[in-house]
């Protein structure tokens, strides 16, 4: 009887956590000026659509091999030079 409600609540929680991670990453990218990469804990999750969109806009995405590793997002410099990682 409660199975569907519990499943929905858990999926919504996961969705909201992923969206929060994505908003945080975009904010950090926006305010990163002196570095050409953003490094994030490997236990963070991002949607495939979000990662594809980043890559489509010139951000190099290096996923962690384990949760002990870090996500690395290579950013273009302020002159849109993409080969300075």
Residue 5: which pLDDT band, with cuts at 50, 70 and 90?
very high
C-alpha–C-alpha distance, residues 14 and 45, integer Å: 9
71-83 pLDDT per residue, tens = 999 998 776 555 5
Query: What strands lie across the sheet with 70-74, from one edge to the other?
Result: 37-41, 70-74, 60-62
User: What is the pTM assigned to this prediction?
Assistant: 0.82
18-54 pLDDT per residue, tens = 999 999 999 999 998 888 999 999 999 999 999 999 9
40 φ, ψ (degrees, to nearest 5): -130, 145
Using the predicted structure, report yes or no on whether residue 85 has a pLDDT greater than 80: no
Cα-trace Rg, the chain = 16
Q: Determine the pLDDT at residue 80.
A: 58
């Amino acid at each position: 009887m409660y199975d569907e409600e519990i499943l929905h609540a858990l999926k919504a929680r996961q969705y909201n956590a992923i969206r929060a991670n994505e908003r945080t990453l975009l904010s950090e990218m926006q305010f990163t000026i002196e570095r050409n990469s953003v490094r994030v804990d490997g236990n963070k999750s991002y949607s495939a659509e979000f990662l594809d969109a980043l890559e489509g806009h010139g951000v190099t995405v290096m996923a962690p091999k384990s949760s002990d590793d870090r996500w690395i997002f290579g950013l273009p410099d302020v002159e849109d030079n993409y080969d300075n990682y």
